[in-house]
Structure 1
Amino acid sequence: MDEATAKSLDQQCSQAIEWWRTLTESGGEGMVVKPLEFIARGKKGLLQPAIKCRGPEYLRELNLARLRSMNTP
């Protein structure tokens, strides 16, 4: 990879991170990242179909709900 391509990828990653932070800081739950192909394969076989990238507020609420359910008789 040449220097210009690496710099472009770094810039795109920074923009994506900033977008995600803005989304989650404003109350969004996060995002789901999926492969372009319906069934994605890697060197070792099938790939995980999606990855959920949740924001800190969503995770905090999820943990609070879990703790409340544990304390309910």
Structure 2
Amino acid sequence: MNALQQHLVDSYRAAQQGEAAPPVPGTHDLAVLRAAREHRRFEAVVAGRPVSGRLRFAFRRWLGVQG
């Protein structure tokens, strides 16, 4: 059973019991991604690592580029 089918079953059950329908699958995906990014940034600050540009910094260190 995929997410859409499960949503339809849950919506049917909620309608039969007079409850509110659950949110459509994918409704909160962007909020979850933003929260994960913010958590990763927070962990970087706590650990003393640079928050942004980490990939660029790693490449420059690997290539030995100064600046």
> Normalized per residue, which structure has more helix?
2
> Normalized per residue, which structure has more strand?
1
Larger RCO (CA within 8 A; separation ≥ 6): 1
What TM-score do you get using the length of structure 2 for normalisation?
Answer: 0.38
Query: Which is higher, the Rg of structure 1 or of structure 2?
Result: 2
What TM-score do you get using the length of structure 1 for normalisation?
Answer: 0.35
